[in-house]
Structure 1
Amino acid sequence: MKIVFDFGAVLFRWHPPSFLARVWAHRAADEVEGAALAKDLFQDYRGDWGAFDQGLIDASTTADRIHARTGWPREEIVAVMDAVPSELKLIEGTAALIQELKAQGHALHFLSNMPEPYADYLEQTFPLKDWFVSGVFSGRVKQSKPSREIFDLALEQFGARPEEVFFLDDHPANIAAAKALGWQAHLFTTPELAREDLTRRGLLPA
C-alpha cells in the first residue's frame, strides 16, 4: 500500500483564522474575525490564491490581484504572504505517524496544494526526501486538488493503481474526489484518529 499525505493541516500547521489573527491583529482581533478575513483573502483556494496554488501566477502578481480586488494595502498583503512559512510548523503527531508507517515498510508519498515559494521552503527546512519516496506540489504541475488531473499525475508519479493508494487529506472535497477515482482515503482531523483508521485497515499493528 502506498500512503499519501496532504501537507497543510495534516503534516504542517495551517489554520488561517488563527494565523491571520496573529499576523493581522489590527484587522482580526480574534479567530472569528480571522475566519472572515480568510474567506476574502484565500477565496476558498480559488480565484487569486487558487492561481497561486497552481503556479499560474507568481507571488508578486498574487499580491497585486488581491490588492486590486480588496483594496487592502499591498504591503500588508505581502507581509501576510511572507509570514506563511512561520505558520507551517511541523505537526509532531503526524511526523511520528510517518516514522511508524516507514518502520512497517510502507512507501510514503505526498500530494499537496502548495505555491512554489512555500514548496521550496518546506524542502529546504524539513527532510522531505527522507520521509517520502516522491510527491507532487500543485505549484509545480500547474494543477490542484480536487481536479482529476492532479490525481492522475500523482498516480503516474507514484507508480500506483488507485486501489493501491491510501490518502490522508483535511478537505472533504479532496477526499470525495479521491474516493470517486477509486483511492482509499481518510478525512484527516488529528494524528490520533488517523492512526486509529490506519490500524483498523491493517496498515499499522494494533
Structure 2
Amino acid sequence: MTEIQAVVFDIGNVLIEWQPENFYDRTVGKARRKAFFADTNIHTHHAQIDAGASLPGMIESLIPRYPEYEPELRMWNDNWNDLAAPAIPHTVRLLNALADKGTTLFTLTNFGHDNFPLSQAVYPFLKRFDREYVSGRLKMIKPDPAIYAHVEKDSGIRPEALLFADDRPENIDAAAARGWQTHLFKEPQAWADRLVAEGLLSVEEAK
C-alpha cells in the first residue's frame, strides 16, 4: 500500500455539522422553516456561494425576490456561525492529533470565501491545515475533477498518497476515480479506525 503523504479533510458534516434546518427550526419554527426553504430554494442558491459568489451579495439579491422572507434570508449571512455548527468533537480530536504528530493536513471543502474565515474565527482547529483548498476561493466545486487535479498539482503529491474523508459519495467517487485513497465519512469512529489502520494514529491517539 502506498504511504500516505497527506490527509485531506472535508469540513461540512465531517468537522462541523452542516444542517441549517436545525437553526431555523429553533428560531422560526419548523413550519416557517419548511416554507422558507421550499419557496426560496435556498440550498440551490447557497451552491453559488460555494462556487465563488459573495454571501452578503447573494442575500441582498434575493431579498427583493422574496421580501416576505427577508428576516430568514438575513439570518443566512448574519447568523452564519449558528448555521454551520456545532463542531463534531471526535473528528476535531482526530484532526488535532494528526496535526500534533506533524502529519501533513489539507482541507478540500465546498465553502464560501466570505464565510470560511467566519468559521475559522470561531473554530481555531480550522486553521491547522497546511493547505486550504476552499471552493469559493478557487471557483471550482466538488465533485468537479478540476478541483482534485488542482490539489494534486498545487501540493505535488501523487493521488495515491492522498487520503481523503468526505461525507458525500459523489465527492468520494470523484477522488477515487483519480486514484486517491478515500473514506466515506458517516461517523467519527470509523474514520478513527481507518487512521489507525493506516498507521497514522495509535488506538489511544484516535480516541
Could you state the TM-score of these two structures normalised by the residue count of structure 2? 0.82
* Structure 1 residue 176, shift from structure 2 partner: 0.9
Rounded to whole Å, the distance in 1 between the matches of 2:186 and 2:168 is 10
Offset at 1:134?
1.1
Say which structure, 1 or 2, has more relative contact order (CA 8 Å, 6+ apart). Answer: 2
Match of 1:174 among 160, 171, 176: 171
Q: Quick one: distance in 2 between partners of 1:117 and 1:154?
A: 21
Q: Distance in 1 between the 2:99 and 2:132 partners?
A: 15
Change (3 A) 1:149 1:68: farther
Tell me the residue number matched to 2:189.
Answer: 192
**From 131, 134, 139, the counterpart of 2:131:** 134
1:14 corresponds to which residue? 18
1:16, distance to aligned residue in structure 2 (A): 3.0
SS for the counterpart of 2:8 is strand
Q: Aligned partner of 1:76: which letter?
A: E
Report the TM-score, using the length of structure 1 for normalisation. Answer: 0.82
Q: Distance in 2 between matches of 1:148 and 1:68?
A: 35
CA distance in 2, matches of 1:24, 1:10: 26
CA distance in 2, matches of 1:35, 1:200: 44
User: Contact 2:107/2:132 (CA < 8 Å) preserved in 1?
Assistant: yes
Alignment CA distance shift 1:177-1:90 (3 Å): same
% of aligned pairs identical? 28
Query: Residue type of the partner of 2:122?
Result: T
Runs of 4+ that moved beyond 6 A: none
Q: Shift in Å at residue 39 of structure 1? A: 9.0
1:62 to 58, 61, 76: 58
Q: Is the 8 A contact 2:167 2:185 kept in 1?
A: yes
Q: How does 1:87-106 map to 2 (within 5 A)?
A: 87=83, 88-106=85-103
Residue in 1 that maps onto 2:111? 114
Alignment coverage as a number of residue pairs: 198
Of residues 59, 72, 79, the one that matches 1:76 is: 72
Of stretches 175-184 and 20-29 in structure 1, the one that deviates more from structure 2 is 20-29
Within 2, Cα distance between the matches of 1:38 and 1:89?
Answer: 26
Cα distance in structure 2, aligned partners of 1:15 and 1:38: 18
2:162 to 158, 162, 165: 165
Q: Do 1:17 and 1:38's aligned partners in 2 also have CA atoms closer than 8 Å?
A: no
Pair 1:187–1:39, CA change in 2 (3 A) = farther
Counterpart amino acid of residue 174 in structure 1: N
